[in-house]
Amino acid sequence: MKQFIKQLRFLYLVKFKWRKYKIGRNFYAGVRVYFWAREKLMIGNNFYIGRDSQIETDSIIGDNVIFGNKVAIVGRYDHHYQKVGVPTRLAPRIRDKNYNWKGLDQLTIIEDDVWIGYGSVIMGGIRIGKGSIVAAGSVVTKDVEPFSIYAGNPARKIKSRFDSPDELEKHIWLEEQILASHKNYRGVESIDV
Ligand SMILES: CC(C)(COP(=O)(O)OP(=O)(O)OC[C@H]1O[C@@H](n2cnc3c(N)ncnc32)[C@H](O)[C@@H]1OP(=O)(O)O)[C@@H](O)C(=O)NCCC(=O)NCCS
């Protein structure tokens, strides 16, 4: 029964509340998740987004991506703070129809198999490369290289995800087979733990 109610909730979120966005299969969203995109939000399969997280920029998110709890993608230029003589609070906001300042062309891209740790903030318009990890509590202001671990504020590369190039090569080779065998993956909710 509990499982059924959860599935109904996801159905409501994907098919009704967020119907103007494109969301793939096996979507999981915790409570109080918030989405807003001016033009587009496209999310791949098997996306997990923890509670109290928010996506507030145009974004493309790949397959098998995890956002921990309290993760945010925020717009760098949400408010036109250089409108001379106008307090930022009263200045045009990116959500206004007639907004024509910076940030309109910014698209955040999170590639496949990215894990964003608890409480991280991602600035709009950056690209997080495939297979990377953003450590808990980071503030990501620049692009993240693939298969890397970034941490801190501002986030910097602390190491590669794998300990050696051989392991990375093996991972890339094996992953294709693993993904093929997970074609029928039904999402975290279906896993008995
Ligand atoms: C990214 C992560 C997996 C790295 O773990 P690890 O491989 O054990 O990393 P290490 O402990 O070897 O850290 C390497 C360096 O980065 C630093 N570091 C690790 N995590 C950090 C963080 N969140 N912020 C800042 N620095 C961090 C370490 O202090 C260490 O610094 P040093 O070399 O100066 O000693 C882990 O730190 C993390 O953040 N996991 C996500 C946890 C989470 O959010 N869970 C809930 C969401 S699902």
- How far is residue 46's CA from residue 114's CA, in Å, rounded to a whole number? 12
Q: Is 133 in the pocket of ligand 1 (CB under 6 A)?
A: yes
Neighbours of 21 (CB within 10 A): 17
Question: Which residue out of 120, 158, 160, 167 has the highest number of ligand 1 atoms within 8 Å of its CB and is therefore the one to mutate?
Answer: 158
Asked if residue 55 and residue 87 are part of one domain, the reply reads: yes
Residue 191: predicted pLDDT? 42
Say if strands 108-110 and 139-140 run parallel, antiparallel, or are unpaired. unpaired
Task: Report which residue type is found at 127.
Answer: R
| Number of domain units in the chain | 2
**Stretches in the chain below the pLDDT threshold 70:** 186-193
Is 156 found in the same domain as 173?
A: no
Give the range of the structural domain holding residue 29, as residue numbers without chain letter.
21-161
What pLDDT, on the 0 to 100 scale, is given for residue 172? 94
Same domain, 156 and 178: no
User: Which numbered atom of ligand 1 lies nearest the CA of 69?
Assistant: 47
